[in-house]
Chain A
């Protein structure tokens, strides 16, 4: 797994990460009666400048895993190492300087941008809050970022409602890149977009990776998109990683039964092949 790694070791190293949520019952005394094992001991690595795809269906724990990696929720146990440094259990203040290095792109471009703020402010706030730049320098940097993600510098003073879903996702990407992070966690970044726009965003993420040497943890339920963008893929099911390997390995020679089931369920946009497949395999139920 060491190909392409610069520096020493992987950028992100997650070992036996666990997040359990308690189920509580009782009126006066909260008793913990059971646990939801949302993330149940997963391990993976993200290399510098590479993409790890995390696929799974709803409820598989992939979003919880992302949040636990970023310390947005406190992991129950396990280790998260960023550039060799343990970050699991760090407090807000200790995490703060590290937030520059790891950013996130969210699923819903309608909910993830503050409707009352102008684009310039949305993209510029991380720079301001981290004390990177101010004033005209800030404005210039934000305008460069907007152009970099395929928007125009004239969009600086507009509001989010003036943009389409695809453009909003570009704004979200510009905001994530403002602090020049090393790792970007993308949680279902294209699933809310129309097909023709999905391809634009996937290509943009690809270009930005080549240019800026970003590493992505790319989380999605669409295994086709994940395969396209990822170097390696981890398949999650019921809080566990059931299979991990290079993108082509996992998609072409899946070993785990769940991975096979997942792949078999993806409709093939080719009538002849899908007819053959149905006759061959019977039904998938």
Chain B
């Protein structure tokens, strides 16, 4: 994926003024997204992954928001763009799919009509019939059976999986170059999730659609992503290719996330490795590394926050924020069993 990036985010910071002080939801996040690439942003609730995506498309603009940095789409700066421009770009250049297909449509309008409206709002010269035909094609392309008939259904007449397909159809209606999918399968059953992931993958391959996939599920990431950003407390703590993150994770938080997964393809461990404690409050971050209080490998240096840097000699694009040197990391990861934290004593794993 060495093509010129279509989307380029630099030092993005998003803070919200709250009663308790400035809440730094996103802190110095940078990444590039190339056409046809799937970038996964992984993290727990409150890690800043959704705020990052929403800020890129201008959805976090408000009086109490402090937004700094740069987001460039095809070289055009989005953070300075006025609301009318953003409205045009949303849909035409960047499509969005949200977690909850239930609340993403207006329940009192027919699905087809809602998408026709979206198309005609952006492309005034497209006639109603033409737009309608396009919606039928879109429905077919995302695998909704009987598309011709079903576009006149109301949202409640669609199942969760079908509604998410309709949502994807709407996101693709204006043929955007970038798709932002925020937990697109979290509300769905696994069998439906698999279908939606395949669909996203096909679209990505066939149309060269650049995709940002926001999720907390590493299983989903392994299925579709090319590159991964791991976020914790508003910052990127590790980034790399899919294989780098899964087979040579550098940050103890990433180890913890991997370790706490239940895996069907492995014998079950006696105890699930767990990350101790809970994510910190963004209003009261510990000094230095925010993962420090939960990290079993904390040492004197951790009161200083390390930069996001490449720390492995042969992987210049694999960056992380942990002071341990690569050998120590490899060793500690092995001592802990596979990857996770707090592996139980004397219990063979994996």
Contact = CB atoms under 8 A, between A and B. Distances in A.
A269 B221 contact: yes
B246 A271 contact: yes
Contacts of B219: 266-269
Contact of A194 (B44, B242, B258, B271): B44
B243 interface: yes
Contacts of B44: 194-197
Interface string A258-278: 000111111111111110001
Contact of B260 (A167, A196, A263, A284): A196
A246 B296 CA distance: 35
Nearest to B188: A58
A262 B264 CA distance: 12
A285 B202 CA distance: 13
Contacts of A269: 218-219, 221-222, 246, 258, 261, 263
Interface residues of B, number: 43
Contact of A228 (B160, B262, B279): B262
B274 A200 contact: yes
B278 A164 contact: yes
Interface size range on A against B = 35 or more
B265 interface: yes
A225 B194 CA distance: 18
A203 B271 contact: yes
Nearest to B294: A196
Nearest to B272: A199
A270 B246 contact: yes
Interface in B236-294: 242-243, 246-247, 256-265, 268, 271-276, 278-279
A202 interface: yes
Contact of A227 (B191, B194, B264): B264
Interface in B214-235: 216-223
30 contacts: A57-B189, A58-B160, A164-B279, A165-B45, A194-B45, A195-B44, A195-B217, A195-B261, A196-B44, A199-B259, A199-B260, A199-B273, A199-B274, A200-B275, A221-B190, A223-B190, A228-B272, A248-B268, A251-B264, A264-B194, A265-B191, A266-B264, A267-B217, A268-B264, A269-B219, A269-B258, A270-B222, A272-B243, A278-B223, A284-B191
Interface of B: 44-45, 143, 160, 189-191, 193-195, 197-198, 216-223, 242-243, 246-247, 256-265, 268, 271-276, 278-279
Given A200-B274, A222-B262, A224-B261, 4 more contacts: A195-B218, A196-B44, A199-B259, A225-B262
